[in-house]
Every structure is written in structure tokens, then in C-alpha cells.
Amino acid sequence: MRPTDRCSACLITLILSTVSCSITPATRVETVSSQVEALDSAPTQETLGSEIDGIAGVFSDRNPRLLPAEAAHLARVVVAEAHRAGLPPTFVLAVIEVESSGRQDAVSEAGALGLMQIMPATGEFVASQIDVPWRGRESLFDPVINVRLGVHYLEELIERYANVRTALAAYNAGPGDVSRRIRSGRPIPRDYADKVLAAYAEAGEEI
């Protein structure tokens, strides 16, 4: 997967019945749950605390080996990076759930690594764009680095394709494959986006 140039933060409005829509002026995510407020203002400390506690609880459930302090720290990173990118933290959590089930040491058959299953070449490129220290593929097993890189990459893909379903397909299959499908008029696979959006709906209920 080859990331695009770093994009500015996008705002997300979550809607019930739209199949696809553009990021003008706000990014929209199709979801199976009810409509929620766009992320167009800074969250309150109460909201942030609730998000962190909920996501920390999910990480602890998925990985009992995590100490409470480690789960809380990772949850703070997810919440901070999600809000920086204008994404709901539970949406980022859904990508993590589908990609790795919350396992920091996950390795795919294709060689993607860590919580958000990032290919080393992609990780190195994104790290160079956002000044994250890169120490080779092992960097992707650091959950904090993995989340920072994964959210930035997802943000770039949403900006590039102006469609969250298409961006999710590109995150999974690679932007090269998705762009070729678009140019040739072939359908874009929906399975991965369906899984993430279903996990997103479930994450909202769980938290």
C-alpha cells in the first residue's frame, strides 16, 4: 500500500442511509447506526474521559495481558489521533478490531503488522511524513506508533478518495488496486468496509 501526501484533518458526519458522499464540507461515513453529531468542535473533557475509559475497557477485554495503565495510555492515543483527524474514536477502534482484534503482535500472511495491520513500506513512508521515529518493521509492533501511522494513513485515503467506503477498501487492498478498479469501471469490493462499519456500530454500543 502506498500512501498519498499528508492531508489536512477531515470532519465526519455519520449518516444512516447514504451509500457514498463527498467530503465537502464534511466527510461522511455510512453506518448502520443512527445519525450522530458531526465532529465540528473540540470535545469536552467529560466526553474525552468517557471515550478513553470506554476504549481502554475494550483493549483490556481483547488483551488481558495489558496492564490497566497500558490500556488507558493506548486509549488516549486512539482518542487523540482520532480527534486530530476529525474521526470518531470508535471508528478507529472498529478498524483496529477488524484488522487485528486488538492484538499488538498481529502479523498477516501479506506481512502487515500490529494493531492497524500496516505494511512496513507504508509505515516507513508515513513515518517520514509525520516525523515519527522509524526503527524498521519492529516499529509497527509499538502500539502507539502503529495507531499514529494507521490513523494518518486512513485520513490520507479518505481525503484522496472523498468516500469512506472507497478509502476503507484502499486501506485493505491498497490504493493501487482500488484506483485501477475505478479507472476501469470495475466494482470496488465492499466486504471490508461492511465489516468495519458493522464493527463501528457495535463499538458504539459496547462503549
* CATH number, domain with residue 133: 1.10.530.10
- Which contacts (CB < 8 Å, 24+ apart) does range 165-173 have? 165/19, 165/20, 165/30, 165/190, 165/193, 166/20, 168/95, 168/192, 168/193, 168/196, 169/193, 170/1, 171/1, 171/95
Structural domain contains residue 105: yes
Residue 3 located in a structural domain? no
Residue 2, in any domain of the structure: no
**Banded model confidence at residue 38, pLDDT cuts 50, 70, 90:** very low
How many domains does the structure of the chain reveal?
A: 1
**pTM listed for this prediction:** 0.80
Classify residue 5: in a domain, yes or no: no
Which residue range forms the structural domain that includes residue 81?
12-206
Residue 120 lies in a domain: yes
CA distances, 1 to each of 60, 62, 122, 205 (Å) = 30, 27, 6, 32
For 170-203, what is each residue's pLDDT tens digit? 999 999 999 999 999 999 999 999 999 999 999 8
Query: Residue 113 falls within a domain, yes or no?
Result: yes
pLDDT digits (tens, 9 = 90+) for 103-126: 999 999 999 999 999 999 999 999
pLDDT per position as a tens digit, 44-99? 999 999 999 999 999 999 888 999 999 999 999 999 999 999 999 999 999 999 99
6 assigned to some structural domain: no
Higher pLDDT, 173 or 32: 173
Assess whether 51 carries a catalytic annotation. no
Among 99, 155, 156, 159, the one annotated catalytic: 99
Considering the domain boundaries, does residue 70 fall inside one? Answer: yes
